[in-house]
Amino acid sequence: MNILGISDVTGNHSHSCVAILQDDKLAFALSQERISRIKNDSSFPLQAIQSALDYTALRLQDIDAFACAYPPPRYYQSLRRDGFFDLPRSLIRVMLRHPLVLGRYLTANIKKGVIDPQKMNGLFEIGVPAAKFHWIDHHLAHVSAGYFASGFEDALAISYGGFAPHLDGNNVAGAVYRCQGDGIEFLEDIPMTATGCYFSGVTVALGFKYMAQEGKTMGLAKTVDFQPAYDRLKKLTTCFRDGVWHKYPFWVDYIQSPRADAFIASRTGHFLNKWIAKTSPAQVAAAAQHLWEENIVRYIAHLQTRHQFRHLVLSGGVFANVQINRLAADLPGIEEVYIHPHPGDGSTAIGAALHIRKQLAGKPVRLSLGDTGWGVDFTERAIETAIRRFGSRIYYEKREDFHQVAAQQLGQGQIVGWFQGREEYGPRALGHRCILADPRRTELKDKITLAIKKREHWIPIAPSILAEHASAYLENMGDTFMQRVCHVRSRKRNDIAAAIHADGSARVQLVGTDAYAPFRQLLQEFYRITGIPALLNTSFNVHGEPIVHLPEEAITLFLAGDMDVLIIGPFIIKKDKVE
């Protein structure tokens, strides 16, 4: 059975992704942004679908079922459900201050609400028969992706993001499920008033990009104390206390955060800008992060008290926040937490395929995801052809011991670009498309951050650590997919000084025996040379752009930045003649 999962078919929602389940194995998964080079590309993923078919040697007619994880939503009905006057209350200020902004905002959303999604279905446009097409509940797709990859036999699972529809079109911020054996049982919704767009709204007010730079807000938050702006920001936040979500009256303002001009013109945007000017951007970010941590951790603790679970599965864009993930993992009574490697809507492409497979066959497929290399790879011939296009601007040689060469260069203080095998699915560089350096040398972190990534100095870079050495370095265990922070033991902080946050923590990738083999071999060789079982590891891209997809893109970035060596497949590439 061949099943293609897709995050959205209308081209209206964030981050279009596809996945193919082929003979009960995850054969391929790719984000449209990797090919289009548009960050968080929401367009219909035609190029990603074609790449998926090419890689798996399937034709469109070979696909037995197509599953979409964003069913037609009842957008305005959902906004009115939690308070009839909430929507006009939020829009009236925008209308009075910037009517043209409001007009553009409403026009786009009314279009979504009026046009039948069936008529916007890109799969139908490329010839997919309606009989093969299935809508899947968005939150159930999130949870299916996480639970059936977690290895748990029982768990509480939470899907939490901005907002998205159930199969009946009802939009909610998230949903909670009890998972046991092969079954997933719905427990409760997280109301739309508690939208994850809250954190995106703060991000926009700080001058960063919606659905692209929330990590900047999180990084900035950890540079100062949260207290100076805490009480003020709390007045602008839906809060969870005493077992109930307490609605912020202007919560709909946050729904406007995808359109920065509309959000800034809203009451909430006005007060955020005012408080940023009175205190500082960092203090507002810190207060926003602390409030977000408080509310979500209180909510999960409340669920734990009610449902008494030991295993927790987290999915949805909210759980891209690694600080929240750490706090959730540390809650009493929770033994293990699983966070999907693509916690945003990318996981729904996989989850939709898994869910429809279960419906059609009567039994779910369980995935083992030790590595996220599910995208495109390139033959040696294709790589060498790409290299030759750059002529005398670069010099290269082929080495079968390329991972040993990389380890030697890293040990000498070089910054190495690493482009190997199939590209990772998701936002993290986990051994395939990386920029690497010696984790002891803080000056290399600064060089990568400022000269190569071209981003703010306070945004941290993560370490990748051999899993068997993790307990010597970490007070609480890290994550295979860099999805939570953990505290680093004080006696080991000099070993990975370039990856340490201001509070002594780090966002760690554990590289075990099921990780991508060449990357693990590189770490083992670096450990043999230096005695340090870790590397500084960040994604192979300029900040704000998708991770590189083609060898040509990697070489172009190598030439533009301050990397010393680029290793693509077995080819060692330098700007000066290789000795």
Which residues have CB under 8 Å from 160's CB, separation 6+?
Answer: 173, 174, 190, 196, 296, 314, 315, 316, 317, 318, 319
The per-residue pLDDT for range 214-256, each reduced to its tens digit, is 999 999 998 999 999 999 999 999 999 999 999 999 999 999 8
Percent of the chain with pLDDT strictly greater than 90:
84
What's the mean pLDDT in 541-546? 93
Compute the distance between CA of residue 320 and CA of residue 314 in angstroms, rounded to an integer. Answer: 10
Q: What pLDDT is attached to residue 110?
A: 64
Alpha-carbon gap, residue 234 to 291, rounded angstroms = 7
Q: Is pTM beyond 0.85 here? A: yes
CA distance 214 to 572: 35
Among 106-115, 432-441, 497-506, name the most confident range.
432-441
Instruction: List, for residues 164-215, the tens digit of each pLDDT value.
Output: 999 999 999 999 999 999 999 999 999 999 999 999 999 999 999 988 899 9
Q: Which of the four pLDDT bands, split at 50, 70 and 90, describes residue 551?
A: very high
Domain assignment present for 476:
yes
Find all residues with CB under 8 Å of 235, minimum gap 6, and list them. Answer: 248
What's the count of helices (H) and strands (E) in the chain, helices before strands?
A: 22, 22
Residue 423 lies in a domain: yes
Q: Is residue 441 part of a domain?
A: yes
How far apart (Å, rounded) are the C-alpha atoms in residues 370 and 513?
Answer: 9
Q: Residue 118: what pLDDT? A: 65
User: Is it the case that residue 97 has pLDDT exceeding 90?
Assistant: no
Rounded-to-integer distance, Cα 329 and Cα 331, Å: 6
541 part of a folded domain: yes
The number of distinct structural domains making up the chain is 1
- What does the alpha-carbon distance between residue 569 and residue 95 come to, in Å, rounded to a whole number? 56
pLDDT the model gives residue 93: 79
Percentage of residues in the chain having pLDDT higher than 70: 96
Q: How confident is the model over 473-492, as pLDDT tens digits?
A: 999 877 899 999 999 999 99
* Domain assignment present for 448: yes
533 within 8 A of 469, measured Cβ to Cβ: yes
CB atoms within 10 A of CB 530: 17
219 in a domain, yes or no?
Answer: no
Question: For residue 509, what are the domain limits?
Answer: 380-574
Least confident of 35-49, 100-114, 362-376, 398-412: 100-114
Asked if the structure places residue 158 within a domain, the reply is no
In a domain, 547, yes or no: yes
CATH number at residue 439: 3.90.870.20
Give the mean pLDDT of the chain: 93
Please answer whether residues 86 and 249 qualify as being in contact, where contact means their C-beta atoms are separated by less than 8 angstroms.
yes
Q: What pLDDT, in 10s, does the model give residues 382-437?
A: 999 999 999 999 999 999 999 999 999 999 999 999 999 999 999 999 999 999 99
